[in-house]
Chain A
């Protein structure tokens, strides 16, 4: 019975070397078959180069699939025999057909040499070039969007009012809860942290100055813009990217409409219009949080807080904070739309571009904020 367990063995008949196959040759047993065939002590290891197998005998074979047939031919080739010349003997007709099918394709399965991977300088160069190309694309898209905005201002009739209002709802109204919650909590934390320090000097009331100035001028615009870069910027990329993939954008073009006007402009305008309003929501929520905290831990009643606010918060700071918002919005929206429009033909790139949008959006917001800080410093505002 030991004979039946073996998958392959060599026999010599009249000086001719014959490889016998037995049992079931299946994909699932490929490693074991490979070991018995060409491994140490395997059937083909015993074969010397001047006595290569001239034939394969399949009388004892129960099953063979294409993967196992490939293994057999590959092992024969490795041993030095020509798989195309080896005779097949006493095979079941079905088994022989499988072997012939694989044999006729054997030459085509040869593995091509691996392509050279980029070296480190090559990769650095490619990254820089890709980055430059991305920025150039952004600048071009930015220019085109500004042109579209100008055109819409000259001819307001062409503006897609319906789409604009839909976006205003999605981008603005629906974002109020998350914006209010986050800025409220920031207000609470700021009042608490400033209070810890101010209390030491008995300067509790100046916490109002700190929170009001910080919130209105820096934190509220920065935090709300960051939230919107993650929320709306990512949404723009995912929406437009999916539309690009399903050829909806091409359909818009072939219907004689401009995707910039139908898709991009309403989104950009919606974000530019709503971000200042959301920053205002953030200002109010942040101050409310601070007021709550001041009342609870610093013995500043709400009335005193509001009175101090009138003195501490000059309109200048508030206007600067609100005024930064449309600029942030423009960058977030343009990046989001452009990354959506530049999705390539596969689903994977939607994910890549959406991630990239969020990163670029947040970096752009912080970079712009720093530039604003320097400019206002120089202007003495």
Chain B
């Protein structure tokens, strides 16, 4: 098994009827990277994410996640792989019938043999890792604000000590202060806990502060791939206008990782 490449997308083609979303798209992400996926509306960012996760089948091409071919592997291998990554959905997708602690405990109860006396502590650790107070565990998802929902969803995604973390628009709908705190949180998870992070985002501050690598999708292909500076240097009308929508963000500081959030 190639331990270096965590995500391998090879020649993926996606068509919806006559509309081609991906036209032979290839991408590799190595262990420990923090990658942001950007692109205009309809460029297939979320679709690509769903294809990598095994939720939606590409028309052609292969997707390998942690060495598993997500569309040809036997079910038991897929089940084992699913325990090794976490996904945070855009609206959280918390189970509305369970309180927050119940949401976080669900994967632990289903897939691990955690001693019952340690379980509440472990749930609380996940909540504090996601930047929530342990008291939030007793609340129902409907009682949470948007930012807290996202953090609770992150706590659930982190429950099984994932090696790879996927996030769909982690900072959308958050106020700038909360959004920057979320960035710092992701930076900390990536640096201090060694998680590989792949996120779909449109937040320029996120891109320019914590994303070590930016992948730009467009016209069914990868238009640009590299650090913020490298991507901005690419001569493409969409990329130019995207980054020129804000000029002053280059000086944004990378939040310190030693102090956590």
Contact = CB atoms under 8 A, between A and B. Distances in A.
A28 interface: yes
Given A26-B161, A30-B118, A31-B113, A346 B141 contact: yes
B220 interface: no
A78 to B, nearest CB: 9
Interface residues of A, number: 31
B114 A344 contact: no
Contact of B135 (A74, A104, A112, A344): A112
A30 B112 contact: yes
By CB atoms of chain A within 10 A, which of B115, B125, B129 has the most?
B125
A345 B112 contact: no
Contacts of A30: 112-115, 118
A27 B160 contact: yes
A377 to B, nearest CB: 46
Contact of A97 (B96, B97, B114, B192): B192
B83 to A, nearest CB: 9
Given A27-B161, A115-B138, A346 B114 contact: no
A74 B118 contact: yes
Given A115-B138, A346-B141, A109 B121 contact: yes
B146 interface: no
Nearest to B133: A108
Interface string B82-117: 000000000000001100000000000000111100
A349 B142 CA distance: 10
Nearest to A31: B113
Contacts of A373: none
B128 interface: yes
Contacts of A346: 96, 140-142
B24 interface: no
B171 interface: no
Q: Could you tell me the dominant secondary structure of chain A's interface residues? A: helix
A98 interface: yes
Contacts, number: 78
B40 to A, nearest CB: 25
Interface size class of B (residues with CB under 8 A): 20 to 34
B135 A65 contact: no
A345 B124 CA distance: 25
A71 interface: yes
B132 to A, nearest CB: 10
A66 B121 contact: no
A13 interface: no
Contacts of B67: none
A347 interface: yes
Contacts of A70: 118, 121-122, 125
A94 B121 contact: no
Contacts of B96: 346-349
A104 B124 contact: no
Interface of B: 96-97, 112-115, 118, 120-122, 124-125, 128-129, 133-135, 138, 140-142, 160-161, 192-194, 260
29 contacts: A27-B112, A27-B161, A30-B112, A30-B113, A30-B115, A30-B118, A66-B129, A66-B193, A70-B118, A70-B121, A71-B115, A71-B118, A74-B121, A98-B192, A98-B193, A101-B193, A101-B260, A102-B125, A104-B260, A105-B129, A108-B124, A108-B128, A108-B133, A109-B122, A110-B124, A111-B120, A111-B124, A112-B135, A349-B96
Interface of A: 26-28, 30-31, 34, 65-67, 70-71, 74, 94, 97-98, 101-102, 104-105, 108-112, 115, 344-349
Given A101-B192, A108-B128, A112-B135, 18 more contacts: A28-B113, A30-B113, A31-B113, A31-B115, A67-B122, A70-B125, A71-B115, A71-B118, A98-B193, A104-B260, A105-B129, A108-B133, A109-B124, A109-B128, A111-B124, A111-B134, A345-B142, A348-B97
